Amino acid sequence: MSYPFLFKADVDNSYGFETELGIIYNVKFKPSDYLLGDVKTEYSDYLFEFVIQLVYNPLKRNPPLDRLVSTTIAAIIEDFYFKKNKSVCIYICDSSDGRQSLRKRKFDEWFYSHENIGVIKYDQIITDSAGNSYPLSVILRKDNPYFMEIILAFSNITSENSK
């Protein structure tokens, strides 16, 4: 069971949903053909940045644990990949407040508790010259015709950008 969600069919392929506490989330699949380096590959038109955005929080504090949020995000991922089966999403954990490791852990929990959605996730960490770590993941269907090329490009781009 998940919260009802709405596909907005906008440029960011966004979905919206509201929790029983009135918290509003947007889940976006932003076209991002540049994310794996070469915009001229056969798969670059299928590259998206995956974004989970908290739009409105009436609680004025961190939202409490709500298992339906992860179930809803899993249902949204499944719906998106059903509509666009060659899609490849890159999830970059927000690092603006230094809580990127916490976000990765939470996303991993969500993802691995819903493994039956037909996609897999491959993780990497980029480390900058100051030693800051930035977790990111590539998410794609197991039957993606560009699977090996995408995993190789993802590995290359992350190793090239780590200091």
**Beta pairing, strands 15-18 & 24-31:** antiparallel
Tokens representing residue 29 in the block: 């699949």
The pLDDT tens digits of the residues spanning 21-43 come to 999 999 999 999 999 988 999 99
Taking the C-alpha atoms of residue 73 and residue 113, their distance in angstroms, rounded to an integer, is 11
Q: What is residue 128's DSSP assignment? A: -
Inter-residue contact 89 to 140 (CB < 8 Å): yes
The pLDDT value recorded for residue 124 is 95
Question: What's 85-119 look like in SS3?
Answer: CCCEEEEECCCCCCCHHHHHHHHHHHHHCCHHHCE
d(CA 142, CA 11): 26
User: CA torsion, points 138, 74, 80, 156, in degrees to nearest 10?
Assistant: 0
pLDDT value, residue 113? 87
pTM of the model: 0.91
- Report the 10 Å Cβ neighbour count for 60: 5
Check residue 132 and give its pLDDT: 86
CATH 3.40.630 fits 5-158, yes or no: yes
Q: How far is CA 61 from CA 54, 57, 64, in A?
A: 12, 8, 9
Residue stretches of the chain with pLDDT short of 70 = none
Q: Which residues pair with 27 in a beta bridge?
A: 15, 52
